[in-house]
Structure formats: C-alpha cells, structure tokens
Structure 1
Amino acid sequence: MPSLSERTEQFTDSVIRRMTRVANQYGAINLSQGFPDFDPPDELKAALKKVAEGSVHQYAVTWGAQNFRQALAEKQARFMGIPIDPETQIVVTCGSTEAMMAAMMTVCNPQDKVIVFSPFYENYAADAILSGAEPIYVPLKPPHFHFDANELEAAFAQHPKALILCNPSNPTGKVFSPDELRLIAGLAEKYDSFVIADEVYEHIIYEPYRHTYFAALPGMFERTISCSSLSKTYSITGWRLGYLIAPAYIIERAKKVHDFLTVGAASPLQEAAVTALRFENGYYKQLQKIYEEKRSLFLEGLKRLNLPFTVPQGAYYVMVDVSEFGCTDDLRFCEWLAREVGVAAVPGSAFFREDIRHLIRFHFAKKNETLEAALNRLESIRHKLPQTARGW
C-alpha cells in the first residue's frame, strides 16, 4: 500500500481530548478538557430555540453571516478600542481551532519558522507542522512563566514569519504585561514578523490584571491576526463559532483558506449568537465575577490539600506541582488519578517543549458543587497512592 503523509507522523492525538475519554472511562470528574458543565445564558438558549423554529438553516455567506459580522465588529471594536470593518476585516470560522489553522496557512510557506512560547496549547505545534512551518520554542519559565528578552530576540533573529501569542495563556493562566507585549511588538516590527494572537480568554481576567489586545498596540494592527471564539465567553464550546480579525489584505487571503477548509460556520448558530454579541458590558463584568469565585474556591481547596500551584492571572486553568509524588511519567500519573482518585487532569508534558514532568493542569470552569466534589476526591490522593508508585 502507498505510504501515508510524513507530516502527520510527527504528532500524536490530542492528550487533552484523550484525558476526557479517560475521565469518561472511569467516571472521573473531568477537570482536563476545558468546557463548562453549566449552561450558556438563558437569553442565548431562547434565541437558539427561536432560530431553530425559523428558516435560517442553509449556508450563510462563506466568511460569516452579515448580521453576525456586524454585531461582532461592534462588540470587538468596543473592547479593543479600534475600528473594525465587518465587510473586509473579519472571517467567521468553525471555532478558534480553525481560526488558528487558517491564520497559519494564510501567512506561512513550507520551511518558514514560527515562534511558539513553551508551554503552549497543544494545537499550535500541530498547526505549524500541518502548515509546513518549523516551530522555534521560547521558554516561559516556571513558576511565574516569564520569558527572557534575549532568548526571544535570538528567536526573532532567525527571521520567523510569525509569533504565536496566547494571551491569557493556556495552560498557565499567564496574562502578558503591557511591557512584555510592547517588547514583542518592537521585535515583530524590527524583524518584520506577523503576530498571531489567540485571545479566546479575553474576558476571563482576574484583578488586578487587565487584558491588552495586541492589535490595539501602536502600529500593530497591520501585522496582527487576532483569533478568538465565542466558546469561553458565552459557555458554548460546542457551537464552534470562531473568527479572525485582521487587516483587509490578510482577510482577503484568509477567506479563501477558510472556504476550502470548512466552507462556513453553522448559520443557525451564527443567527442565535448575535443575541450574545449584543450583551451590555454588565454581562462581561458578571462573567469575571463568576470565574473569580470559582478560582477562589478551587485554589483555596488546593491550599488545604497542600498541593502547590501557580495562581492564574487569567483563563480558567491552574498548573499544579506534583513533584511530591516522585512523578516522572505524568501521563501515567494522570491516568492513575482519574482511575483511582476520580479526578481527571492533563499531564503538563502535553504543553512543554522542555522535559517537564512534575506539573499537571486542572481547569475550574465547572459548577461550584462540581469543584467541591473534585476537591473532596483529591483529599484521598496521598492515601491511595501506593508507595510502589512513587518514582514512576
């Protein structure tokens, strides 16, 4: 038989999604894959019901229904502080996963280089490989996940086509400071690189931190592709509605890539989601308050259990240090945790280019009672861990 593609040999299946299957297998509480166990806003569900009874069931315009793009442009312009043309500067995609892939394929040629901060959301490496690009990894150093400016400039000196910026960061919850972002901007300009900004957690930020949109920095809109989705902001991860915002010359090319990747996002869901995009600012303040409460509940529980962690500044993930358990195989540890303790996490090695095996990632986008149940189960972790397993 003929051989399969060589590029797809270079990565495995998603470890995050694999841990959801492990959680389902053992009936564990799923704190691995980052989706809520609570419903989206009632107004949004009511809008979907109304749309389902109507006639919006066929293809929308390939790059997004006009009313969805208009509502999105108005909402993002309000928060980003820059004008956005819904006709020439937006492409609606099937989730931010497609948005990132479309962005990479729009700007990258085979053998181009792309800077990726490590740790990183696991899709980024796969996106680079599928685009034929070569990742250059720059470490974000635990426990505070700062980068070294000299190491970053050394990466830029290799003349990458783009840098991928996840802000707030998955998996660390790091919010890049204005000074860090200005440094990145200066290097992108100096070495003439694009910045692909994954800002899907833009509205989940904890005091005193603030989100700075990279495209809104002086001179950066022309070289930035902003990627995001409605999944996290409105608790609709299953709707798969994402988007790109970029200058018209980039979007014109991205429209073609998107068209041949997926044709278009679901038109009934775009129609219903217009309701959410028109929420007043109070919705986003309440969202922040809800996640502040969940973060406090979960982190206080980890403190009681003497499980060390890095406090997330944004997003809804927390990196937990399991060095105490002599963990050298974090995937095996997470499988054990799901099977014996009943809580599913993601092994940290899924996110790091470096050989880091002592960190695991939990997420706290769950009902408070779910988080409390998970903490109750985690109380048994030291009792259930057999001595023979230490050092695995």
Structure 2
Amino acid sequence: MANRRSSPSMHPRAASAPRSALEERPVAEAEVSLNPLVASLRPSATVRLTDTATRLRESGVDVVALAAGEPDAPTPAAVAAAGIEAITRGITKYTPNSGTSALRAAIAAKLRSENGLAEVQDSWVVVSNGAKQAVWQAVQATCGPGDEVIVPAPYWVSYPEMARLAGAEPVVALARVVARHPRLLVLSDEIYEYLVYPPARHVSFGALPGMARRTLTVNGFSKAYSMTGWRLGYLAAPPPYAQVAAIIQSQTTSGASSIAQHAALAALGLGHGGGDPVARAVAATRQKRDRVVARLRAIPGIKLATPPGAFYAFPDASALVGPGVEAEGFGPVPDVAELCRYILECAHVVVVPGEAFGLPECFRISYATDLEQLERGMDRIAAALAPNKLRRTHTAA
C-alpha cells in the first residue's frame, strides 16, 4: 500500500495532468460486466404492464387495469389495528432473522391443524418479506447449475426466472413424475389456499402420503388477508432446507417487518380459513368470477374453463388471431401477445399475454377489482373483440 500512487482525481496537481485515453473514452454498453445469470432474466410481464397502465393514466388516458393480482378488499380491521398497535407500542425494532417466535409458532400450529402437515415445527418456518422471497430462497437453497426445475403450466411468471437465477433449467411439464423420482423435491406455493370456490377444496402437497419431507411449502398473507403492501410470507420446510433459506435471508434482507409480523398474528387469530373477513371476500370474488366467465363466454371465438380458485381467468383466444388477422385501427394480430397490445392501445384495458404463464394461446384477466371497473373493462374487451373489429383478410397458405 505504501507504493500506491494517488488517483488523478485525488492528487493536488490533477487539474494540470493530461486526461488518459480511458477517461476520455465513454464506457460502451458492451464493457458493462454483469452476472450472466442476472443478465438472462426477463422483467415480470405483470409488473411491466402495470407500469404501462400507470404511464397511460398519468398522460390522461382512462385505463382499466385487469392485470395485477391484488385484492380490492381492505385489510381486515383487526389486522390493521394490530399493525397500528405495533407502532404505538414501539414494536418497531429488528426481529429475529427467521421471524418472531410467536409468529413462527402460530404458523406451525396453523399448518398442523388446517393443512395436515403433522410434522411441522417452529424450526421448519422462515418468515420472509413476502411469499416471493420465500420462493426465491427455497429455489436458491435447493437448486444449482445442471439441475432441472419442473414447472407445470400455467405457472406464475417468476418461477422459470427464479430457476434460471439459481443456474438451473426450467422444464415445463406435469409434476406426476414426482412419484417416480424419490429424490425430487416439490416447492408448493399455496398463497391462494383460502381463495377456493366450493366444491373445489385446497389440499396441501406436503400432506400427501410420503411427501412431508419432500415438500417445501410457501404461503403468505397478501392474497387472503388483502395485505399485499405489508410484504409478509413464509417458507415451511424440513430443517435442512429451512436452515439454508434462513442463512440466505440473513445475508440479504434479514428479518421481516416487526409491524407486519405483529399484524400477521392477528390475521391468524381470525380463525380457521381466515374467519368471516376472508369468507366474505371469497364470496364477493366468486360473484365477480361468475360475471367474468359469463361475459367472456359470450364473445365469439373465446373458450374458457371456469376457474376453481384465485381471481384470474385464462380465456383461450387462439381462434381470434393468426396469419391474415387484422384489428381495426391497429393492424396485424398474429398472436395473442399482439392481441393484448391491441386491447391495451385501442380499448385501454390491461390484460396479460398468456405466454408469460406458459399458455401462449390465452390471456389473463384479473377480476380482483371492483365490479363497476370490471364491467367497464369487459364492455371494452367485448367491443374490441367483436367480429367487425377483428377481420381475417386472407387465408394462410
């Protein structure tokens, strides 16, 4: 260190020193060094479209956003009150990295009693900053270069990208191969467990015979309890995986918000299945689902299965696109991704291309919004997809 020369920017005579060729030459884009795993990542389609809708709104365009998966119901009053209580009582300090002991115990008890995960103990639970972080840490803890990750379609947009970030290769396939491969692990994202419409019911993968110690369960509070902005999720996994996930978290974000964790305890105290607040929200969401299904099935060329849970519809629009198809005032519509761009630019409704979820023949509508907004969006989509708006100018050879 004694022989190190001062940098020109720090030397007293630097002002009179000639500038080097390196200083004068602008840094080219090709010279920027990025981790190849990160450089291969693609931005989230849902976030990108939501940002586009925001920009359109800011420019004065009336946009109906049916893209983001965010409940429109408020956070239950008892949960919000618990968050306020945490602030007023000074429960605002750092928490243990894996979560407070009270919340971890409550989550473990919930998983044993509601989900049939009889082996789960507090040591299995890692509370994180949202369920997305729990998924990421689970993938980082279990996957590496040369591994393959089986992703059933339709999938959440981030699953394949998280696999790539770990150096593994996502493989889109059905997960029935699990039974034939005893070393294969299952990452079960159960964030929508309460948002299921009877007669459908939720079954935790880890409760299936032989799967307790082969399943890493992810869940959170965002969807069922309308706590998206609170950013709180959790991983429940056998100790070897939970311990590694906790180490990853300790070197990235550390523990989750103390305020959110205090509120989550109140959420779990609402009762089995989320109690009355969640039951009311599910009933209201089911009415919206039924309305969306009826409106979409009335559009010529659209095929749609009735969603058994969550708050998304995946209409198959493949019959409306293809070679020679043109939209009035827009131009060619060769595929569903371009159809979504047409719906956004001409009907001012944000929907998500299905290719982001492994279903390129479909697009996704989120009906997690108020009914008036939903009806306006459906009116515009129906008008945009009417036979007089989409025309096949010629038949492909």
TM over 0.5: yes
2:237 pairs with 1:246 = yes
Query: Corresponding residue for 1:187?
Result: 180
Gaps of 5+ in 2: 1-30, 58-62, 322-332
Q: Within 1, Cα distance between the matches of 2:372 and 2:141?
A: 44
Shift of 1:100: 0.8
Query: Corresponding residue for 2:10?
Result: none
Closer/same/farther in 2, CA of residues 45 and 84 from structure 1, 3 Å limit: farther
Query: Corresponding residue for 1:42?
Result: 77
Q: Within 2, Cα distance between the matches of 1:330 and 1:185?
A: 32
Query: Corresponding residue for 2:43?
Result: 13
Query: Corresponding residue for 1:288?
Result: 282
Q: Which has the higher contact order (CA 8 A, sep 6+)?
A: 1
1:233-265: CA deviation from partner (whole Å, max 9, x where unpaired) = 111112111111111222122211121121121
1:321 is paired with a residue whose SS is coil
Scaled by the length of structure 2, what TM-score is found? 0.80
Identical columns (%): 30
More deviation, 212-221/363-372: 363-372
Matched to 2:307, the amino acid is P
- 8 A contact 1:328–1:358 mirrored in 2: no
Matched to 1:187, the amino acid is R
Shift of 1:25: 2.6
Closer/same/farther in 2, CA of residues 389 and 358 from structure 1, 3 Å limit: farther
- 8 A contact 1:116–1:135 mirrored in 2: yes
Q: Within 1, Cα distance between the matches of 2:384 and 2:51?
A: 21
Closer/same/farther in 2, CA of residues 19 and 217 from structure 1, 3 Å limit: same
1:118 is paired with a residue whose SS is coil
Closer/same/farther in 2, CA of residues 339 and 53 from structure 1, 3 Å limit: farther
2:252 is paired with a residue whose SS is helix
Please report the RMSD computed on the Cα atoms of aligned residues, expressed in angstroms. 2.4
- 8 A contact 1:22–1:335 mirrored in 2: no
- 8 A contact 2:112–2:120 mirrored in 1: no
Within the candidate set 201, 220, 228, 1:237 is matched to 228
2:348 pairs with 1:342 = yes
1:32 is paired with a residue whose SS is coil
Q: Within 1, Cα distance between the matches of 2:267 and 2:143?
A: 33
Matched to 2:282, the amino acid is Q
Matched to 2:263, the amino acid is A
For residues 171-182 of structure 1, the aligned pairs below 5 Å read: none
Closer/same/farther in 2, CA of residues 317 and 270 from structure 1, 3 Å limit: same
Shift of 1:55: 0.2
2:162 pairs with 1:130 = no
Within the candidate set 94, 97, 106, 2:141 is matched to 106
- 8 A contact 1:185–1:220 mirrored in 2: no
Scaled by the length of structure 1, what TM-score is found? 0.81
1:4-41: CA deviation from partner (whole Å, max 9, x where unpaired) = 12122323211111111122233421111211233121
Gaps of 5+ in 1: 139-146, 153-182
Shift of 1:2: 4.7
Shift of 1:388: 8.7
1:51-101: CA deviation from partner (whole Å, max 9, x where unpaired) = 222201111101011222122222222211233655311000111111111
Larger radius of gyration: 2
Within the candidate set 271, 296, 305, 1:310 is matched to 305
Matched to 1:9, the amino acid is A
Matched to 2:264, the amino acid is A
- 8 A contact 2:120–2:236 mirrored in 1: no
